[in-house]
């Protein structure tokens, strides 16, 4: 039997600037459209005030996606009680956009025991065009900090390559940095699960790489 395209839960991790919010929003919209199942999107990114998934809640709600936003009280991150209820709902899927550093990753850590890898995809998004993600030592340090804080086992990760330099992004740059990343994660005993690219470049890229290509609708670019 073929494995399902979407597991019940999906968690998106990665350093700030990796593009995990863009990916998580795209993923949620695709999962809702392709499965028809109820879907909860949980914004757990407490590490920045801008470029948050909450900016696209109206878009997701128009697709029939339920949205849950975390918030702060006296500078302390607070998780709404509805998150546990959403995870426990056997008829619904959950997509989590997790904060881009150790402090942000702590928020998902309290739920990891309720998100077994059999039911959950743990995606770690890496943008090899960003500082702290373009050398083996820097990449390893960033991953260790996030995984230690979250309690997520490295063996659960599915690495998503997301080479991106905003409006300067093109297929040659994506290919160059993606191949760099393949070497970096290979040195850590890991491999790239898929590569993400703007939807207008995905076709050309798919003919040049072996990994699955995820076409991205650039919600961030249209907003900012």
Predicted local confidence at residue 75, as pLDDT: 45
pLDDT band at 58 (very low <50, low <70, confident <90, very high): confident
In degrees rounded to 5, what are phi and psi of residue 21? -65, -45
List pLDDT tens digits, range 178-195: 999 999 999 999 999 999
What pLDDT, on the 0 to 100 scale, is given for residue 191?
95
Per-residue model confidence as pLDDT tens digits over 71-116? 544 344 555 567 888 899 999 999 999 987 888 788 899 899 999 9
pLDDT tens-digit series, residues 139-161: 899 899 999 999 999 999 999 99
CA angle centred on 135, ends 214 and 138, rounded to 5°: 100
For 3-40, what is each residue's pLDDT tens digit? 567 999 999 999 888 999 999 999 999 999 999 999 99
């Amino acid at each position: 039997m073929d494995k399902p395209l979407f597991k019940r839960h999906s968690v998106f991790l990665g350093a700030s600037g990796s593009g995990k919010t863009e990916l998580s929003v795209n993923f949620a919209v695709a999962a809702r459209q392709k499965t028809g199942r109820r879907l909860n999107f949980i914004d757990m990114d407490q590490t920045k005030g801008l470029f948050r998934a909450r900016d696209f809640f109206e878009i997701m709600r128009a697709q029939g996606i339920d949205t849950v936003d975390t918030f702060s009280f006296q500078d302390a991150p607070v998780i709404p009680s509805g998150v546990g209820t959403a995870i426990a709902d056997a008829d619904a899927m959950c997509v989590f956009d997790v904060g881009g550093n150790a402090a942000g990753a702590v928020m998902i850590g309290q739920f990891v025991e309720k998100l077994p890898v059999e039911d959950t995809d743990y995606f770690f998004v890496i943008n090899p065009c960003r500082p702290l993600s373009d050398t083996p030592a820097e990449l390893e340090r960033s991953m260790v900090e996030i995984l230690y804080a979250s309690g997520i086992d490295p063996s659960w990760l599915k690495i998503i390559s997301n080479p991106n330099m905003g409006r300067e992004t093109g297929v040659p740059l994506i290919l160059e940095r993606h191949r760099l990343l393949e070497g970096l994660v290979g040195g850590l005993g890991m491999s790239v699960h898929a590569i993400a690219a703007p939807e207008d470049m995905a076709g050309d890229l798919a003919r040049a790489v072996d990994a699955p290509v995820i076409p991205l609708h650039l919600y961030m670019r249209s907003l900012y």
